[in-house]
Amino acid sequence: MKADLLTLLDGRLIVSLHEDWKRAGQPTLPQGSLVSLELKALSADPEHLQPALIYAPAAREAFIEAGATRGHLLVHSLDNVNGRAYSYAPEPNNHWSRRRLDLPNNISVNVIDTDLHSEQAYVQVTGFLTPPKLMRADLGAGTLTTAKTLPPKFDASRDVVEQFEATSKDGTKVPYFVVHPVAMKMDGSTPTILNAYGGFLDARTPTYSAELGKLWLERGGAFVLANIRGGGEFGPAWHEAGLKTNRQRIYDDFAAVGEDLIAKGFTSSAQLGIMGGSNGGLLMGVEFIQHPQLWRAVDIQVPLLDMLRYEQIAAGSSWVAEYGSVSVPEERAFLASISPYNNLRAGVKYPEPLIWSTTKDDRVGPQHARKFAAKLAAMGVPYLYFEVIEGGHGAGATPDERAKMHAREYTYFSSKLGL
């Protein structure tokens, strides 16, 4: 069984379960749960473990991390992608009680540290419009107080964050956050950037971004984060639903969010742009070939794009568990069907994409981005290609380079989407 040993609390081992723990004659402990094992019982009879359930995720919940203080356990979980923090205390008879720490919706939580010698812990709280805030938790009292807040990097006073849900092709409900001007008209006229990642169990939660705020939101644009399958937003099952030959679900989820934004009147295809990096860059490439008319701008950042050769390029061979391998016939057939590099078609009207990468990226490598651009050039499809010559798997090695790369991106979106 896949599980993580997280910490010790007052003679109890704290374990998170990556898959169901099936036990003869006893209820199954579900995937994504947190359980404790008393060390005394464990060493007395290691053959018959007696786990106590601390936390079991409800339908739209996921466990993220936990840390111990002297007598409590701080648990960070997601509830429909909203960050939550709980203080748990061990009780007699293998039970745990819990108290919810008071936090608003539409924010992210990050456990900074927990003190084994007191009841104190520190958590960072942040949101799309909320600069990172360091908060001190007293797990005994169940309280949170602000210790320090970073100064705001942009004027967020005219914006608001909301959460909605789209319905994907197979009926799965896909949540998404929209950051938009309070005063926007719901007539499809707002320049909007849609972003997602969709892979590697990576839960994408609200984040404070100075460049997004300053270069886009403050100027009246809207931003959307889609919590598509492949990530860990709803625990391991959300990730596993989109592995290997099931990956089309991830791409359908993203398109469903795009269509929902248009249906709700946030934006229209002429003013909808998409951005994603790395595995999210592959997502961009797939959306580019599968729905060329749904987006006006496609920002393909440090992408994977040649999925028939990805195992030969940079660190590609280490991601076979996620994407599958061309050495397995059915996986090869699937990769051939979605590989953006291999599915560009003459005569299709594609939006002009911005494709960029970095020369020294040794994870994804610049190869995918280059070849895709070169193929577009050979086909006579307009595109913009940029490669940062210094720096790794990111937008550049220095603040200057990063600032210029972000300026290129938001200039591109502004020009395409009319902002």
Partner 1 sequence: MKFNLLLALFGFSAAFNVGTAAAPAAGAAPAANASPAANASPAAGAVPAAGDPFLWLEQAHGERAMQWVKAENVKTDAVLERDPRFLSLSFISWVPRVPRN
Structure tokens at 403: 């600032």
Where on the phi/psi map is residue 244: left (φ > 0), alpha (ψ -120 to 50), or beta? left
State the nearest-atom distance from the C-beta of 161 to partner 1, in Å: 15
| Residue number with CB closer to partner 1 (293 or 415) | 415
Which among 250, 269, 270 is positioned nearest to 260, based on CA atoms?
269
State the nearest-atom distance from the C-beta of 124 to partner 1, in Å: 8
Residues in contact with 363: Cβ distance below 8 Å, sequence separation at least 6, in sequence order: 278, 314, 315, 392, 393
The residue from 268, 269, 393, 414 that is catalytic is: 393
| Residue number with CB closer to partner 1 (89 or 328) | 328
| Residue number with CB closer to partner 1 (255 or 335) | 335
| Residue number with CB closer to partner 1 (5 or 25) | 5
State the nearest-atom distance from the C-beta of 91 to partner 1, in Å: 24
| Residue number with CB closer to partner 1 (26 or 398) | 398
Q: Please give the Cα distance from 290 to 270 (Å, whole number).
A: 17
Measured on CA atoms in the order 85, 89, 93, 94, is the torsion positive or negative? positive
Q: Please give the Cα distance from 341 to 307 (Å, whole number).
A: 8
The residue from 278, 339, 357, 368 that is catalytic is: 278
Q: Please give the Cα distance from 189 to 316 (Å, whole number).
A: 40
State the nearest-atom distance from the C-beta of 210 to partner 1, in Å: 5
Beta pairing class for 120-126 and 108-114: antiparallel
| Residue number with CB closer to partner 1 (271 or 367) | 367
Q: Please give the Cα distance from 39 to 9 (Å, whole number).
A: 10
State the nearest-atom distance from the C-beta of 169 to partner 1, in Å: 24
Q: Does 278 participate in catalysis according to the annotation?
A: yes
State the nearest-atom distance from the C-beta of 93 to partner 1, in Å: 27
Q: Please give the Cα distance from 326 to 346 (Å, whole number).
A: 25
Q: Please give the Cα distance from 392 to 71 (Å, whole number).
A: 43
Structure tokens at 167: 């319905």
Which among 100, 108, 103, 95 is positioned nearest to 139, based on CA atoms?
100
Give catalytic residue positions. Answer: 278, 393
